[in-house]
């Protein structure tokens, strides 16, 4: 018999063993038991994420218990707990279109939200496109005077960590610890603090691009813009500055772009990039909310 219940002192260790990335004070866990044995686990973050608003959820089912309704039951339990508290549920992770997890979520009533499209682009080709965009922004005076573009090494780390944590639903202290470690051991956390770029406007951190460099390729670990500065100059400027910093080190960049933003999609298309894959987080409405996500 299948039973779903909030994790307690007896079942929480098993839940965390199945979902180690959810060991977070803001998460609640559910245990799925079949005949008294742990068959799977679910976790939900009790804080809003994305638009439309929703709580992030994660599910894991053990191999021997799959195709027995365990995952659906875990999602149903978390949806019942969240109903009335938010508009929907978001998958805590992003999935490629062809991933089994994406197909499972769709079967459970989730829809794909905003997509990140991943491309590999010759760095020179990307620079040509970004330089044209930044030149246009400068000509129309859409880049404020006095904007600072420090490397991560020279940036205000606490404010940088706060923006990243808010954007990705993470704990600021954990993000800050990773940023601090990158300054002394960049290989351990796969960040290059001298390429990674922060945008500071009037003392406030409004954009962060974290990048790693391996061999002849740079990869973007995080590219985030403060909500009130989205669809402004920030994204283009941090790409421009970071690409110039990376130029002496690499010839390729693994780049991802928001499918809703024409300028960043055009950078990949016109820069000679090859699309490698796209991925999305998935959303399901609660209490009659329409099953659509931006």
Phi, psi of 225 (to 5 degrees): -125, 140
Contact 102, 95 (CB under 8 A): yes
Most confident of 125-139, 148-162, 215-229: 148-162
pLDDT over 70, % of the chain = 94
pLDDT at 41: 98
Using CA atoms in the order 68, 73, 74, 77, what is the torsion angle rounded to 10 degrees?
A: -170
The beta-strand segments (E) located in the chain are 2-6, 27-34, 37-49, 54-61, 88-91, 95-96, 111-122, 197-201, 204-214, 217-225, 252-258, 274-285
pLDDT reading at 259 higher than 80: no
Q: What residue spans define the domains of the chain?
A: 2-92, 116-279
Give yes or no for residue 294 having a pLDDT over 80.
no
Query: Taking 90 as the threshold, does the pLDDT of residue 116 lie above it?
Result: no
pLDDT of 290 reads 47
Mean pLDDT of 60-72: 94
Residue 261's pLDDT is: 63
With 60 as the cut, is the pLDDT of residue 105 above it? yes
Write out pLDDT tens, residues 88-102: 999 999 999 899 999
Higher pLDDT: 119 or 269? It is: 119
- Rounded average pLDDT over 46-57: 84
State the average pLDDT for the chain: 90
What's the confidence (pLDDT) of residue 263? Answer: 62
Structure tokens, 210: 């974290």
Q: What is the mean pLDDT of residues 70-77?
A: 97
Domains 2-92 and 116-279 share a fold: yes
The H or E element spanning position 127 is helix 123-139
**Which tens digits make up the pLDDT trace of 261-292?**
666 667 667 777 777 888 999 999 996 554 45
CA gap 99, 228 in Å, rounded? 33
Question: Quick one: pLDDT at residue 293?
Answer: 54
Exposure on the CB side of residue 214, measured as CA atoms within 13 A: 11
Q: Percent of the chain, pLDDT > 90?
A: 69
For residue 264, the model assigns a pLDDT of 64
The answer to whether 75 and 108 have CB atoms below 8 angstroms apart is yes
pLDDT reported for residue 275? 79
Rounded alpha-carbon distances, angstroms, from residue 27 to 20, 165, 169, 178: 12, 15, 11, 20
Cα 103 versus chain centre, distance: 20
Residues paired with residue 211 on neighbouring β-strands, in sequence order = 220
pLDDT digits (tens, 9 = 90+) for 164-222: 998 877 789 989 999 999 999 988 888 999 999 999 999 999 999 999 999 999 998 88
Is the CATH number 3.40.630.30 carried by domain 116-279? yes
pLDDT for residue 2 is more than 80: yes
Fold of 2-92: Aminopeptidase (3.40.630)
């Amino acid at each position: 018999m299948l039973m779903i219940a909030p994790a307690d002192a007896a079942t929480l260790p098993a839940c965390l063993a199945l979902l180690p990335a959810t060991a977070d004070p803001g998460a609640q866990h559910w245990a799925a038991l079949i005949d008294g044995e742990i068959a799977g686990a679910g976790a939900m973050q009790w804080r809003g994420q994305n638009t439309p608003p929703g709580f992030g959820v994660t599910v894991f089912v053990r191999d021997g218990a799959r195709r027995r309704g365990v995952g659906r039951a875990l999602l149903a339990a978390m949806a019942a707990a969240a109903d009335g508290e938010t508009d929907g549920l978001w998958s805590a992770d992003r999935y490629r279109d062809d991933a089994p997890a994406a197909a499972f979520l769709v079967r459970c009533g989730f829809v794909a939200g905003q997509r990140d499209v991943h491309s590999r682009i010759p760095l020179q080709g990307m620079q040509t496109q970004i330089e044209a965009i930044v030149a246009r922004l400068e000509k129309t005076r859409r880049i404020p005077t006095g904007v600072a573009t420090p490397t991560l090494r020279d940036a205000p780390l606490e404010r940088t960590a706060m923006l990243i944590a808010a954007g990705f639903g993470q704990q600021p202290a954990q993000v800050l610890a990773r940023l601090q470690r990158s300054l002394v051991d960049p290989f351990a956390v796969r960040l290059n603090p001298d390429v990674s770029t922060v945008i500071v406007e009037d003392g406030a951190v409004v954009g962060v691009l974290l990048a790693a460099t391996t061999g002849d390729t740079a990869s973007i670990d995080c590219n985030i813009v403060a909500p009130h500065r989205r669809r402004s100059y920030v994204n283009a400027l941090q790409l421009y500055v970071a690409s110039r910093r990376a130029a002496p080190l690499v010839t390729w960049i693994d780049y991802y772009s928001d499918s809703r933003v024409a300028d960043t999609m055009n950078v990949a298309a016109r820069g000679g990039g090859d699309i490698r894959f796209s991925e999305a987080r998935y959303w399901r409405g609660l209490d009659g909310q329409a099953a659509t996500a931006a």
